Structure 1
Amino acid sequence: MVFSCKKENELTFSEIQVTTNNNTIVEVFIPKATGNKATSKAINTEIENFITSLLEIGDPKAKTKPSSLTKQIEAFNSEYNNFIKDFPEVTQLWEAQIDGEVIYQSKDIISIAITAYLNTGGAHGNTNISFLNFDAATGKRILKEKLITNTKAFTNIAKTYFNEELTDKSILFEPESFTLPENIGISEEGIILLYNTYEIAPYASGIIEFTIPFEKVKSYLIFNSF
């Protein structure tokens, strides 16, 4: 009986595809949590809401927005169909490809990477990688600011690894200044710091990413049982 209860509360993930009957241009594959009902629901809701926001197009200040991921997928398709009606000479398809992956899971923290490629008819599409970190006990998302307990000390160490990774500072928008990226994730190798395209450098520079081993920064993290 105790073993059965423990197994029901274990958090596991499986990959699911989210689509609709009328969808032709959006591909969404994301991890779905099962196990502890409250925790898994919190994680799944956060992932779905995040993916929904990635697919938002049109007026960002619109009062009425799709209330679910499937409705947002339908809205994305509808926007494309309306665009083609207005500009029938355009032959380029819109597309959205979103993939989620659990890159780290422990009794304390879960880190999920979301890779999104969107092309809505521009010169080129845009790839963006986001890290979502969750408290494994509650399923609540841990924002970047709450992941680190000593930002100054962590930043000093991160700057050293950044300088080792990027020897040519001339490609940066502000080569003399260093700031932590918007996305900080966790892998088996350590803490991942990732700068998306346009975040600190032009499109041609691509995504800039490096990893700091746990032992170098674990005393500055909210969870240090790595």
Structure 2
Amino acid sequence: MFNNSSFRLIKIFSLIIITSICFSCKDDVALNFTDTSIIDEGETTIEINIPKADGKTEAAKQINTTLTKFVTAALNIEAVSETKTTTLESIEGFKKAYTDFKTQIGKTLYTNLPPWEVLVDGEIIYQSETLISIAMNSSINTGGAHSNLIFKFYNFDAKTGLELKTKDLINDVPSFTLLAKKYYDKELLSANNDRIEAFENDTFNLPENLGFSEDGVIVFYDTFNSSSNNVIEFTIPYTVANNYLNF
């Protein structure tokens, strides 16, 4: 199964999700979600647990399409091949890639090829009448020293299902960046030297995407696929962030 390093980082994801998860109790929230779970064990181990928007509305279709793309991209390990459009096709493609690689490498490899492992996990961390925020992560191990780890927040317009970018969510990105820098510097004050060195930068920038919880705006940085595997994560409370938000 998955190595200890992968599970430690997945636990980090779980803590972020557990501490920030919130579902609105209002009756007029249009979208409901159910959990989709797939476990495929054989020569490869594939586990997928993600939310799925119920119904046939355009918003549900948009959200499900976006989340499926994350899954299929994670399972597509052959840069030369075309990414599959469905989860099941991607699973079969991943298994075939392992079989093909095993056949090729078997001519020169004198030990058993270690199994390939994939874990894709997703959780709704915030849902309101206007915004749905979902945290997605993947861990892919194809026999290397470290798993390939990806973590991403997706924010959706609850009415249309369209993915919202930072510029859609924040009304004054430069000023919000200065605010986030104060929290970032405070977080580094309590970090050890290795963690500080991993995140030292001449220029501070917001991460590619932000998350949202009941408590505030989640800002998350990582160096997963470097030698450090460190994270910086903090939440800016709504009492401070509200003036910068478009929702």
What's the TM-score bracket when you normalise by the shorter of the two chains? 0.7 to 0.9
- 1:4 is aligned to none
C-alpha separation between the residues in 2 aligned to 1:205 and 1:19?
27
- 1:166 is aligned to 188
- 1:141 is aligned to 163
**Post-superposition shift, 1:23?**
8.3
User: What is the 5 A alignment of 1:66-145?
Assistant: 66-88=84-106, 89-145=111-167
Contact 2:222 2:229 in 1 (8 A): no
- Structure 1 residue 50 and structure 2 residue 70: aligned? yes
With over 3 angstroms needed to count, the CA separation of the structure-2 counterparts of 1:126 and 1:170, relative to structure 1, is same
**Post-superposition shift, 1:174?**
4.4
C-alpha separation between the residues in 2 aligned to 1:127 and 1:48?
17
C-alpha separation between the residues in 1 aligned to 2:148 and 2:71?
15
- 1:212 is aligned to 236
Contact 2:131 2:156 in 1 (8 A): yes
Deviation sequence 1:122-161 (CA, Å, 0-9, x none)? 1111332110100001111112332212111100000000
With over 3 angstroms needed to count, the CA separation of the structure-2 counterparts of 1:87 and 1:170, relative to structure 1, is same
- Structure 1 residue 190 and structure 2 residue 216: aligned? yes
C-alpha separation between the residues in 2 aligned to 1:54 and 1:24?
14
Q: Give the SS at the match of 1:73.
A: helix
With over 3 angstroms needed to count, the CA separation of the structure-2 counterparts of 1:126 and 1:206, relative to structure 1, is farther
- Structure 1 residue 150 and structure 2 residue 177: aligned? no
C-alpha separation between the residues in 1 aligned to 2:104 and 2:65?
35
Pick which of 169-178 and 97-106 moved more. 169-178
C-alpha separation between the residues in 1 aligned to 2:94 and 2:165?
28
Q: Give the SS at the match of 2:61.
A: helix
C-alpha separation between the residues in 1 aligned to 2:128 and 2:89?
33
The one-letter amino acid of 1:172's match is A
* Unpaired runs of at least 5, structure 1: 1-6
Deviation sequence 1:23-54 (CA, Å, 0-9, x none)? 84211111011147221121111111222122
* Unpaired runs of at least 5, structure 2: 1-26
Contact 1:23 1:74 in 2 (8 A): no
With over 3 angstroms needed to count, the CA separation of the structure-2 counterparts of 1:103 and 1:173, relative to structure 1, is closer
Deviation sequence 1:98-122 (CA, Å, 0-9, x none)? 1110000000100000121111111
The one-letter amino acid of 2:184's match is F
Q: What CA RMSD, in Å, does the superposition of the two structures yield over aligned residues?
A: 2.6
Contact 1:144 1:184 in 2 (8 A): yes
C-alpha separation between the residues in 1 aligned to 2:181 and 2:200?
14
Of 44, 47, 67, the residue aligned with 1:27 is 47
C-alpha separation between the residues in 1 aligned to 2:145 and 2:130?
43
C-alpha separation between the residues in 2 aligned to 1:37 and 1:214?
31
Q: What TM-score do the two structures reach when normalised by structure 1?
A: 0.84
**Which of the pair has the greater relative contact order for Cα pairs under 8 Å at 6+ separation?**
2
C-alpha separation between the residues in 2 aligned to 1:104 and 1:11?
12
- 2:83 is aligned to 65
C-alpha separation between the residues in 2 aligned to 1:65 and 1:175?
34
